[in-house]
Amino acid sequence: ETGVTQTPRHLVMGMTNKKSLKCEQHLGHNAMYWYKQSAKKPLELMFVYNFKEQTENNSVPSRFSPECPNSSHLFLHLHTLQPEDSALYLCASSQDSYQETQYFGPGTRLLVL
């Protein structure tokens, strides 16, 4: 195990639902990341938080809303998603955002109906 946990592991939601993904890291890291992984495509960086401050928003639609209450926890709030948002959402952490070695959680497999 990498020390990064994600819940839920699987999620099915309708386009009008509101749900949240949770990530927790037990590594004492200060930076946390959200990535989207779609089939046959490279990992897409969504958000970066460093010491609880958002340092990167990679042109992500507003229907995805991140929250980082502390350096160990990261949330991704979802509302009015589209079917094309179905993907594996991965959380990662690193010592800080200038240390490139990132450690990933197992991901949440999201299906939007």
Partner 1 sequence: GESVGLHLPTLSVQEGDNSIINCAYSNSASDYFIWYKQESGKGPQFIIDIRSNMDKRQGQRVTVLLNKTVKHLSLQIAATQPGDSAVYFCAENDRPYNQGGKLIFGQGTELSVKP
Summarize as ranges the residues that interact with partner 1 (CB under 8 A): 2, 4, 6, 40-43, 45, 48, 56, 90, 92, 97-98, 100-107
CB 90 to partner 1: min, Å = 5
CB 38 to partner 1: min, Å = 11
Contact 14, 113 (CB under 8 A): yes
- Tell me whether residue 17 or residue 103 sits nearer to partner 1 (CB atom): 103
- Tell me whether residue 55 or residue 82 sits nearer to partner 1 (CB atom): 55
Q: How far is CA 74 from CA 5, 51, 113, in A?
A: 10, 11, 25
- Tell me whether residue 79 or residue 106 sits nearer to partner 1 (CB atom): 106
CB 91 to partner 1: min, Å = 8
- Tell me whether residue 48 or residue 78 sits nearer to partner 1 (CB atom): 48
73-79 sheet: strands from edge to edge: 4-7, 18-25, 73-79, 64-70
User: Which of 113, 60, 61 minimizes the C-alpha distance to 82?
Assistant: 113
User: 3 by DSSP, 3-state: which?
Assistant: coil
